[in-house]
Amino acid sequence: MKQDRRFSRRAFMTASAALGAQIALAGSGIGCGRLTTGGRPSAEPAIDLAAVTGDSPAKNCRAAIEALGGLARFVRPGDRVVLKPNPIGANPPEDAISTHPELVGALVADCLAVGAREVLAVSHDGMRSFIANGLHQAITENGGTVKAIESAADYREVIVPRGRILRREMISTDLLDADVFINLPIAKHHAGSEVTLAMKNLMGINWDRIRYHRTDLHQCIAELAATVRADLTIMDANYVLLTNGPGGPGEVRHGRRVIAGIDPVAIDAFTTRTFWRDPGEIAHIRIAYELGVGEIDLSKLKIREFAA
Amino acid sequence: MGLAILATAMLPAAGAQLEQATRLEMDGEYAQARDAYRAFAADQPQHRLAPLAVMAQANIELLAFDDHGAAITAYDHLVRDYPQSEWAAEAARRKAELLEAGEAWQQAGQAYGVALELAGRQPNGPGAEWVNEVSLATADCFYQAGEHGAVIETYEAVLQNPLPAESAATITYRLADCLETSGHPELAAARYAELIRTYPGMSSARDALAKRELLDQHESIDWEPYLALAEAREAVRRRDFAGALEQYRLARDGTEDPAVRRCADYGTINVETSLGGDYTQGLERLERFVDELSDPTQFPNSTRLAQQYRMIAEGERRAREHPDDAAALSSLGMQYVQARASEKAIEVLERARSLDPEDGDVHLGLGYAYQGAGRGEEAQQAFTAYLEHDPHNTQVLNMIGYTCLGGGDTEAAIGYFQRYAEVAPDDPNAHDSLGEGYLRAGRLEDAAREYERAVELDDSFANSYFMLGEVYRQLDAPEKAVAAYRRFVTLVASGPQADQARAALEELGQEP
């Protein structure tokens, strides 16, 4: 068909039921690539979020991870680590469009240093962006690899039990099969979702992003965050795009900061302060909290803010 | 993933339990995830997330295990124990969908009715689209059950709820239509008239204008302002902006009715902004207009339009300040594309292309812009250039294929559709498109094979059944044509294609 004409309501429903039957026939085969391993160090860290300020993005990143208990808490020898930076645009770091290459490069080196067998950076954005903004060089020079996940074959279907709009979603197979998934957003304004932080950065590991924009972007972002969980999120707020995001150019604040943690709602809630916003005003952060993805109330979190 | 244990320790208990469920889902361990949700709801039934956990449990039963009975039990649990929950209405709806799929029409209709009732109880309930879809589903099921009275009752009950204007207008039209076909012309005319007078800006009100003969028998309507509004919109569609402005003026001057005058004012702002190209001034006018509305839902697109004007105005400012910034020009060009200002889009995107010929997005934007301007050949060139950057983009492969078809280059179209089918062999739409290419080329056997493949992949892919009917007629295989048309009208009960399918069945000597 010329365009994806909307199915009749009944046709859509019947199609969904038929797809469900196919999946059921396959048993629990969907999304079965990863194994639930268990056995990681489980000592409770002292804090939920670490926010580190300093001139060096790499030092900020390392200090934030150290405050959470060190990288070895998250990455074990032999692990396959998947990173999801925000790689868009061909701009230098000072424009605050893509995740700072220095931060990403340092993390790749550190993952390998603690014994990771492979560190792979993925995103649906084309390889051209990775190369133009310096991320490709930073990753490969430090021993990592880069993959632009541009084909449907790079994705596998999972179900979305906590979805209102989403019922099934195609997610990067590399991510689903990873031992460790680290989300590496940059803090930016976004014309559609108001801000693009940790949860919005997950748009890039799913196949059909257009549907999000055509339905309810905030709701879909939150539902995706209830479906895919990073083991660690490191927010690049070294340079923050305050206006005209996500592509810029816009007003940039030299935030000199990295924020790290596990709870994506907490990280996004904390980072909205950079934009002088209340996290409850940002619909996808509020909805994610309502979906049980994480904590929006910063007063309930243990946050350590310090200088590197 | 092993880090679940680490993460669990770092979060409050409820969050940790749900986080663990997410990780189990990512691992494909749906039985364990379901059990985790079930345990959570059982252990903490008063927790704010307990209804969510029951919903997730039900959805796993359905989506992962296709266990309709278990899913319905869990949906019932949610509706029964958490009727005030924001999930209750959706749970009732999903149960209804399952009943409907099993063709238990009356039960399904009743379950949809429960969903609507639950939604109506919530101060911040589901949006207009949800209410629309569910009310349509309710009425559909009662119609299938032969309970026309229940169809009318459903719509009347839904209209008692405070609804966004667009939903109320749509449902009023459906109610009027049902009354008309059920032999209640006077009541139908009253509803059509209510629709035209209350929601003159809505598309369903324009549809109601076609009922003039019926309305003139039972109602007294001053038609001129409403017809002028309709003509103005038609002129906009034709891009006859001067004609549209004249019709809006006639509508505004021809009545004291504030609803009509507001529609005319809104349309005038829209057209004058597009014509004059001053989006900064357009934004100011639009914001003043919206501020004065008592019910902004009467103009459901006004927020989006204001945002569009705002972004274009900002983009123009940046482009003036940075005339050699390809990214800024590209961004502005895409804004123009979305605003359907095709000529302006072409101008700035061509400048962006000259500055950065390697930017694939610019080629894509240019493709859309040339297409919007009716310049098919240039659109095709731009889309082709885009494909060099993103050769597996199925939407673009499909679009360029149809652009070729529109330009009469059937062989090129077939080539693009073949690439689409290679990239996405399990996408029924790919085979449907390829079928259309073959059909245009007169390769009927090939077309039939592709359409059959589409419905094999998705037995509810309605368009392919319709096309199969046409192909089999041309192949002189009437029995297959009848079967295809019959399947189509089962899937799509109304609309122009359904009418064509029924006419074809009649021509084939069948009861439509």
Nearest to A176 among B26, B37, B55 (CB): B26
CB contact under 8 A, B60 and A40: no
Q: Which amino acid is at B37?
A: Y
Give the confidence band of B117 by pLDDT, cuts at 50, 70, 90: confident
8 A C-beta contact, residue B335 and residue B312: yes
Q: DSSP letter at A5?
A: P
8 A C-beta contact, residue A142 and residue A109: yes
Position with higher pLDDT, B305 vs B477: B477
Angle, helices B223-237 vs B241-253, to 10°: value is 160
Mean predicted lDDT score pLDDT of chain B: 89
pLDDT at B133 over 90: no
Nearest CA to CA, how far is B271 from chain A (Å)? 24
Identify the residue among B27, B65, B359, B388 best suited for mutation to test binding to A, counting A beta carbons within 10 A and taking the highest. Answer: B27
Nearest CA among B5, B86, B23, B26 for reference residue B50:
B86
Per CB-CB distance under 8 Å, the chain A contacts of B55 are 161-162
Q: Quickly count: other Cβ atoms within 10 Å of residue A130's Cβ.
A: 25
Per CB-CB distance under 8 Å, the chain B contacts of A168 are 63
Residue B512, pLDDT score: 64
Assigned token pair, A13: 């429903």
8 A C-beta contact, residue A260 and residue A59: no
CB contact under 8 A, A18 and B90: no
CB contact under 8 A, A38 and B2: yes
Residue A256 phi/psi, 5-degree rounding, is: 55, 40
pLDDT at A144 over 90: yes
Class of CATH domain A45-307? alpha beta
Q: Mean pLDDT across the stretch B385-403?
A: 86
Identify the residue among A5, A28, A35, A36 best suited for mutation to test binding to B, counting B beta carbons within 10 A and taking the highest. Answer: A36
CB contact under 8 A, A20 and B19: no
pLDDT at B267 over 60: yes
Per CB-CB distance under 8 Å, the chain A contacts of B491 are 8, 10-11, 14
Per CB-CB distance under 8 Å, the chain B contacts of A31 are 25-28
Give the confidence band of B13 by pLDDT, cuts at 50, 70, 90: low
8 A C-beta contact, residue B149 and residue B284: no
Q: What is the CA radius of gyration of chain A?
A: 19
Position with higher pLDDT, B373 vs A77: A77
**CA closest to B136 among chain A residues:** A9
Residue A27, pLDDT score: 31
Nearest to A14 among B31, B101, B331 (CB): B101
Element (H, E) at A157: strand A155-159
Give the confidence band of B216 by pLDDT, cuts at 50, 70, 90: very high
Residue B4, pLDDT score: 36
C-alpha–C-alpha distance, residues B329 and B369, integer Å: 14
Residue B171, pLDDT score: 87
**CA closest to B435 among chain A residues:** A1
Give the confidence band of A18 by pLDDT, cuts at 50, 70, 90: very low
CB contact under 8 A, B23 and A151: no
DSSP conformation letters of B407-426 = TT-HHHHHHHHHHHHHH-TT
C-alpha–C-alpha distance, residues B512 and B509, integer Å: 9
Residue B317, pLDDT score: 86
CA distances from B383 to A51, B355, B396 (A): 45, 18, 7
For B221-225, B344-348, B385-389, which range has the lowest pLDDT when averaged over its residues? B385-389
Give the confidence band of A40 by pLDDT, cuts at 50, 70, 90: very low
Residue A23, pLDDT score: 31
8 A C-beta contact, residue A97 and residue A89: yes
Give the confidence band of B445 by pLDDT, cuts at 50, 70, 90: very high
Position with higher pLDDT, A39 vs B374: B374
Share of chain B above pLDDT 90, in %: 54
Position with higher pLDDT, A191 vs A134: A134
C-alpha–C-alpha distance, residues B188 and B177, integer Å: 7
Residue A194 phi/psi, 5-degree rounding, is: 75, -50
Residue A1, pLDDT score: 66
C-alpha–C-alpha distance, residues B387 and B337, integer Å: 19
pLDDT at B10 over 60: no
Residue B100, pLDDT score: 93
8 A C-beta contact, residue B23 and residue B36: no
pLDDT digits (tens, 9 = 90+) for A61-96: 999 999 999 999 999 999 999 999 999 888 899 999
pLDDT at A30 over 50: no
Angle, helices B360-372 vs B326-338, to 10°: value is 30
Assigned token pair, A123: 């995103």
Residue B182, pLDDT score: 87
Q: Which amino acid is at B7?
A: A
Residue B338, pLDDT score: 80
Nearest CA to CA, how far is A42 from chain B (Å)? 5
Q: Where exactly are the structural domains of chain A?
A: 45-307
Identify the residue among A128, A159, A173, A243 best suited for mutation to test binding to B, counting B beta carbons within 10 A and taking the highest. Answer: A159
pLDDT at B121 over 90: no
Give the confidence band of B372 by pLDDT, cuts at 50, 70, 90: confident
For A93-102, B72-81, B502-511, which range has the lowest pLDDT when averaged over its residues? B502-511
pLDDT at B344 over 50: yes
pLDDT at A28 over 70: no
8 A C-beta contact, residue A285 and residue A67: no
Position with higher pLDDT, B27 vs B8: B27
Residue B354, pLDDT score: 93
C-alpha–C-alpha distance, residues A288 and A218, integer Å: 9
pLDDT at A39 over 50: no
Residue B392 phi/psi, 5-degree rounding, is: -105, 15
Alpha helices for B322-427 (secondary structure H): 326-338, 342-355, 360-372, 376-389, 394-406, 410-423
8 A C-beta contact, residue A159 and residue B30: yes
DSSP three-state, residue A257: strand
**CA closest to B56 among chain A residues:** A161
Nearest CA to CA, how far is A308 from chain B (Å)? 23
Q: Mean pLDDT across the stretch B119-132?
A: 78
CB contact under 8 A, A24 and B66: yes
Which residues make Cβ contacts (< 8 Å) with residue B81, sequence separation at least 6?
A: B45, B54
C-alpha–C-alpha distance, residues B86 and B88, integer Å: 6
pLDDT digits (tens, 9 = 90+) for A245-296: 898 888 899 999 999 999 999 999 999 988 888 899 899 999 999 999 999 9
**CA closest to B133 among chain A residues:** A9
